[in-house]
Amino acid sequence: MTAEDHTPGRVAYQGAPGAFSHEACLDLRPWDEAVGFETFQGAIDAVLSGDCHCALIPVENSTVGVVEPAATLVREAGLVAVSDAWRPIRLALMGVPDARLSDIKTAESHPVALQQCSKALNEMKISAIEVFDTGGAAAAVAEAGDVSRAAVAPARAAEVYGLIVLRNDLQDFSDNRTRFVLFTAPEA
């Protein structure tokens, strides 16, 4: 497989629909079926088993540095990097349709996303709660229906889960970017 290969296949990513990795798959590999896994290990295993022909994994962020455990897991698995792309990361704070910014007490998201907006959350006196993924956080907030809970995720996730964006550009640094790497299984 090469970066220019547009043969339809299955690309693994970590997260739920609406997560940054899902968004990257839709934008960078629109001809592939994006297949979400709860963990980075699950996405890697799908490539190693042949269930998916590649995986798109975030390995580095301009604000927080190396994305762990992703970087270590792909290195230990021996996956082969095919291409990479730096993507801007714009964090949105979202809640249920009846919520107002003043109602929000907690914000749920992936630990790396929360690190990227820790200053903003502290200034708003919102407690951060770590969950497995940005899209999953949006899904959980939508399901709970609690006006005091919010998610930190891409704005697209609000559309996916019927939430409203309470604040855009929540990231602490305007040039916040993540490097996504396309990996394949090592040659046998």
Cα 133–Cα 70–Cα 11 angle in degrees, nearest 5: 75
Cβ proximity of 77 and 128 under 8 Å: no
Cα 111–Cα 150–Cα 11 angle in degrees, nearest 5: 55
Q: Which of 11, 84, 76 is nearest to 43 (CA)?
A: 11
Q: Which helix (H) or strand (E) holds 118?
A: helix 118-123
Q: Which residues are catalytic?
A: 178, 180
- The Cα 35–Cα 56 span in angstroms is 10
Tokens representing residue 81 in the block:
């990097």
What is residue 8's three-state secondary structure?
Answer: coil
Tokens representing residue 97 in the block:
């349709």
Cβ proximity of 174 and 116 under 8 Å: no
